[in-house]
Structure 1
Amino acid sequence: MSARIAVIEDELEIRELIVEELEDEGYEVDTAANGREGLEMIQRFKPQLVLSDITMPELDGYGMLENLRNMKAFRSTPIVFLSALADRRHIIQGKKLGVDDYVTKPIDFEFLLATIEARLREVERMTIEKEEQMLKLYNSFMSRPEQERRVKPALIVAQEWLELDAIENALKKLGVPFVLHHRGSKLDSYLREKAYSSIFISQHTNDVSASDALKQSELFGSTNVPKYLVIEDSKAAQDMGHWSSFNQVISLDTAKEADVNEVIAAHV
């Protein structure tokens, strides 16, 4: 199972050993030596799961976890603590802050990998359930007689941690409902299910990049609706070869809600 995993561990030898084991299993890994560095790395790396030690300098695992759960983008990211401090009191403290699981030291790597796989399967299950819920809302909306004269919903395919308030609010003001999905590899499945008034794709989705999603898609190019590429950081934007496939690029770090509203309104 391919996924991005953040490893936060202050002991270099343990950190390197964990990275080696995870990369051997095909995971993409980034690391930090304490909770403060970990928070910065997580916001940049956008992991699908976090492994973190508890006892660390500058900011411990509990402080890192509390900060992370206060960030809208990472409230549901699975967090697994790696620690020898796994007695009942520490487990209860971690659970109250929102930790998902514990793996004790010395690390049993077979158990660690099984824990990671189980948590990632749970993330996938929740993603599928959310997509099914969005589809039900779409069907409910489009089944109303008064909607026959209204615009069809927009399709948004974006990474789960991306802040999309500017786009969502602009669509709401324009009276355009939307369906939000997170797996770029399923783009054709979404397009086959229903017709949409516009398509928004973030540069990175939960499983593939926008570039890969377009390469795999048989329907995107022939779908004749406005298309928008959503990027998070205009300075760090990469892989620009596929940008010509879109009517407009929306950079969330520079565009204000009024700007997004103006861009979308021009094509609706």
Structure 2
Amino acid sequence: MNAHILVVDDDQEIRDLLDEYLTKSGYQVSTVKDGVELKAQLQHAYPDLILLDVMLPGDDGFTLCQQIRRDSDVPIIMLTAVSDDTDQIIGLEIGADDYIAKPFSPRHLIARIKAVLRRSQKNHQRTEDVLVNAVPKSIVFGDWRLDTLAHKLTHLDNQQQHDLSGSDFTLLMLFLSRPNEVLDRDTISVATRGREALPFERGIDVQLSRLRQRLGDSGKYPSYIKTMRGNGYILSVPVNYEH
């Protein structure tokens, strides 16, 4: 089945043009004008990719991107009329997969869509391959147990639980599969985003900070993920796999 693309833009002319061009390119297309219609659409089903305009009435694209990322790893390409590196960095930090400044050529847009969809499919395939290859049902590391099927963390002492988003689970599994090994930014970015890290990109730092806060620390394990300056990051606690 052809990939389903959801276009979110408050400009009727742009929605119509994108609908026409993407449909001719073989995609299934839906269009909405704002965050209210977007949320209503997502209650029924998630598309394969979202083209999300930054400047929208009500909640802007950045806010909507953050909200979507709480529940889903659906690929998101941000669209903006402002060619500003700061906006691009913000978009990538909050979980967007790519960023295109208006005006853009249709061919350029299609190329970016294909690249993002290809990366997304590869990431899903890697996850399926890992599951097929007998991933342990749970992994104990430090004070935590990870349920690899439910994507749930449970603290061994106080039984505190956390549900992990897809991106946070992928990041944690990367460290758990390679404990006591220094992982550089490109390795982390390829595993979680399907591409090497961009210059000055802080999205990895944001995601690592979120995971570190989730894991916390204790007297026995004062630091789960250590920063190795100039080299990368390392998971520095004992890891045991339970099949």
In which range does the TM-score fall when normalised by the shorter chain?
0.5 to 0.7
After the TM superposition, which residues 236-247 of structure 1 pair with which residues of structure 2 at under 5 Å, given as runs? none
**What secondary structure, in the 3-state scheme, does the structure 1 residue paired with 2:6 have?**
strand
Judged with a 3 Å threshold, the aligned counterparts in structure 2 of structure 1 residues 104 and 125 are, in CA distance, closer, same or farther, namely same
After the TM superposition, which residues 15-54 of structure 1 pair with which residues of structure 2 at under 5 Å, given as runs? 15-54=15-54
User: Which residue of the partner structure matches residue 124 of structure 2?
Assistant: 127
Judged with a 3 Å threshold, the aligned counterparts in structure 2 of structure 1 residues 136 and 164 are, in CA distance, closer, same or farther, namely closer
- Deviation by residue 1:106-138 (Cα, 9 ceiling, x = unmatched): 121100000000111111111111111011116
State how far apart, in whole Å, the 1-side matches of 2:49 and 2:83 are.
Answer: 20
State how far apart, in whole Å, the 1-side matches of 2:22 and 2:114 are.
Answer: 11
Q: Find runs of 4+ consecutive structure 1 residues off by over 6 angstroms.
A: none
- Deviation by residue 1:244-265 (Cα, 9 ceiling, x = unmatched): xxxxxxxxxxxxxxxxxxxxxx
**What secondary structure, in the 3-state scheme, does the structure 1 residue paired with 2:130 have?**
helix
One-letter amino acid of the structure 2 residue matched with residue 78 of structure 1: P
State how far apart, in whole Å, the 2-side matches of 1:9 and 1:126 are.
Answer: 28
State the 1:67 CA deviation: 0.8
User: Which residue of the partner structure matches residue 68 of structure 1?
Assistant: 68
State how far apart, in whole Å, the 2-side matches of 1:45 and 1:8 are.
Answer: 15
Structure 1 gap segments, 5+ residues each:
142-155, 157-162, 166-268
**What secondary structure, in the 3-state scheme, does the structure 1 residue paired with 2:16 have?**
helix
**What secondary structure, in the 3-state scheme, does the structure 2 residue paired with 1:137 have?**
coil
- Deviation by residue 1:173-228 (Cα, 9 ceiling, x = unmatched): xxxxxxxxxxxxxxxxxxxxxxxxxxxxxxxxxxxxxxxxxxxxxxxxxxxxxxxx
Judged with a 3 Å threshold, the aligned counterparts in structure 2 of structure 1 residues 164 and 3 are, in CA distance, closer, same or farther, namely farther
User: Which residue of the partner structure matches residue 216 of structure 1?
Assistant: none
Q: Normalized against structure 2, the TM-score is what?
A: 0.54
One-letter amino acid of the structure 1 residue matched with residue 12 of structure 2: L
**What secondary structure, in the 3-state scheme, does the structure 2 residue paired with 1:2 have?**
coil
State how far apart, in whole Å, the 2-side matches of 1:53 and 1:109 are.
Answer: 16
Structure 2 gap segments, 5+ residues each:
138-148, 153-243
Judged with a 3 Å threshold, the aligned counterparts in structure 2 of structure 1 residues 107 and 43 are, in CA distance, closer, same or farther, namely farther
Q: Normalized against structure 1, the TM-score is what?
A: 0.49
Judged with a 3 Å threshold, the aligned counterparts in structure 2 of structure 1 residues 45 and 24 are, in CA distance, closer, same or farther, namely farther
User: Which residue of the partner structure matches residue 245 of structure 1?
Assistant: none
State how far apart, in whole Å, the 1-side matches of 2:98 and 2:151 are.
Answer: 29
> Which entry has the higher C-alpha Rg, 1 or 2?
1
Question: Taking every aligned residue pair, what percent have the same amino acid on both sides?
Answer: 33
State the 1:35 CA deviation: 2.0
After the TM superposition, which residues 1-268 of structure 1 pair with which residues of structure 2 at under 5 Å, given as runs? 2-71=2-71, 74=72, 76-137=73-134
- Deviation by residue 1:114-167 (Cα, 9 ceiling, x = unmatched): 0000111111111111111011116x78xxxxxxxxxxxxxx9xxxxxx999xx
Judged with a 3 Å threshold, the aligned counterparts in structure 2 of structure 1 residues 107 and 128 are, in CA distance, closer, same or farther, namely same
User: Which residue of the partner structure matches residue 143 of structure 2?
Assistant: none
**What secondary structure, in the 3-state scheme, does the structure 2 residue paired with 1:31 have?**
strand
State how far apart, in whole Å, the 1-side matches of 2:16 and 2:42 are.
Answer: 18
Aligned-residue CA RMSD in angstroms?
2.3
State the 1:36 CA deviation: 2.5
Would the aligned equivalents of 1:9 and 1:53 in 2 still touch at CA under 8 Å? Answer: yes
Would the aligned equivalents of 2:46 and 2:74 in 1 still touch at CA under 8 Å? Answer: no
State how far apart, in whole Å, the 1-side matches of 2:45 and 2:19 are.
Answer: 15
Structure in which a larger fraction of residues adopt helix: 1
State how far apart, in whole Å, the 2-side matches of 1:14 and 1:35 are.
Answer: 16
Higher RCO by CA contacts (8 Å cutoff, separation 6 or greater): 2
Equivalenced residues, count: 141
State the 1:45 CA deviation: 3.5
